[in-house]
Amino acid sequence: MDRSILKAFGRRIKTIRSEQGISQEQLGQLAELDRTYISGIERGLRNVSLINIERLAAALKVEPAELLKFSETDYV
């Protein structure tokens, strides 16, 4: 499996989190996920479930679709 889409998703999470001034620890608490799991997502090591995408979106106060807004060139 090509993991580049996971890396693109992780960069998107990190960008939104950073823009909001939230640490990985804070995001983990808000989304009820472990900080190491957030780190793994941002580094493209985790294949995130839909349930966790919804948790991340709620914690970041965005629609789930906003987390998936990256272009094909971001991961090809």
Q: What pLDDT tens digit does each residue of the chain (76 aa) get?
A: 678 999 999 999 999 999 999 999 999 999 999 999 999 999 999 999 999 999 999 999 999 999 999 877 766 6
Q: Give the pLDDT score at 38.
A: 99
The Cα 8–Cα 69 span in angstroms is 10
pTM confidence score:
0.90
Q: Give the pLDDT score at 43.
A: 97
Q: Is the dihedral of CA 29, 35, 38, 42 positive or negative?
A: positive
Task: Please give the CATH architecture assigned to the domain spanning 4-71.
Answer: Orthogonal Bundle (1.10)
The Cα 2–Cα 68 span in angstroms is 17
Contacts 24+ apart (CB under 8 A), 61-67: 61/20, 62/16, 66/16, 67/9, 67/12, 67/13, 67/16
Q: Give the pLDDT score at 42.
A: 98
